[in-house]
A and B are shown apart, each in its own frame.
Chain A
């Protein structure tokens, strides 16, 4: 268990720092790269949480697709590749206050609810197969709906984004 905690500590630190860099860096491309660090860290957390399938999906979809998409977006919109000084707007101090307050509220609530609750040890590992079963049994309707959703997003995004 110690190992797990150490791993978590390292991951958490890395993710925290990277996340902060994502929202503070002056370079858009760097931000995307820091985002990759966070996303990868999340994938690692999933493994810690015994959710291998999700971890894999996280890597494939997030890092493989979404970040790529964002990078394309960056280029298509000709964002400054190098450092830019005006990436933040003038309400960032308010933003800091709001986020800290939010963190305070969330932290307080979580501390109150699960202050010393431990994750069950040796709980039944939910295997990928279970996930699959659940999707196609309990959640088959959302699954079908998501397919329409993706189709609609695709069609719509094409129309919206294409030059005409």
Chain B
């Protein structure tokens, strides 16, 4: 197995995630796209961990998963807060402050 096959797949997921973040206006979908990005990172970490024969890669990935969980929780809380006040989670409408 080539190292790059994992890395390129991760890069692809990363970019798809980026697209999702940029192009989706539903906040929940954006959160999902972020998960794609984070998973891409994790693939990288684990693949590199194997490549470098270092356990740090896996450990790092674990930490990322844990933090991701916290982030999603917080993110959803914010989204819900917004929804409660605006009755919409369309990100394009959230533009009171600008300039």
* A adjacent to B, CB under 8 Å: yes
Give residues in A with beta carbon < 8 Å to B: 1, 4-5, 8, 12, 15-16, 19-20, 22-23, 28, 31-32, 35, 38-39, 42, 45-46, 48-51, 53-54, 57-58, 61-62, 65-66, 69-70, 72-74, 76-79, 86-92, 94-96, 98-100, 102-103, 106-107, 110-111, 114-120, 123-124, 126, 130-131, 133-135, 138-139, 142, 146, 149-150, 153-154, 156-158, 160-161, 163
Main secondary structure of the interface of B (DSSP, over half): helix
Q: Given that A22-B20, A98-B18 are contacting pairs, would A70 and B72 also be in contact in the complex, using a CB cutoff of 8 Å?
A: yes
For residue A8, which residues in chain B have a CB less than 8 angstroms away from its CB? 1, 5
Does B50 lie within 8 Å of A106, measured CB to CB? no
For residue A134, which residues in chain B have a CB less than 8 angstroms away from its CB? 55-56, 59
Does B22 lie within 8 Å of A54, measured CB to CB? no
Give residues in B with beta carbon < 8 Å to A: 1-9, 11-20, 22-29, 31-33, 35-36, 39, 42-43, 46-47, 49-51, 53, 55-56, 58-59, 61-63, 65-74, 76-81, 83-84, 89, 91-92
A61–B69 CA distance with the chains assembled, in angstroms: 7
Q: Given that A23-B23, A89-B91, A102-B15 are contacting pairs, would A51 and B29 also be in contact in the complex, using a CB cutoff of 8 Å?
A: no
Does A153 lie within 8 Å of B74, measured CB to CB? yes
18 A-B pairs besides A146-B63, A153-B73 with CB distance below 8 A are A19-B16, A42-B42, A51-B46, A54-B42, A66-B69, A88-B24, A96-B19, A98-B19, A98-B22, A99-B18, A110-B4, A118-B3, A123-B50, A134-B59, A135-B59, A150-B70, A153-B74, A156-B74
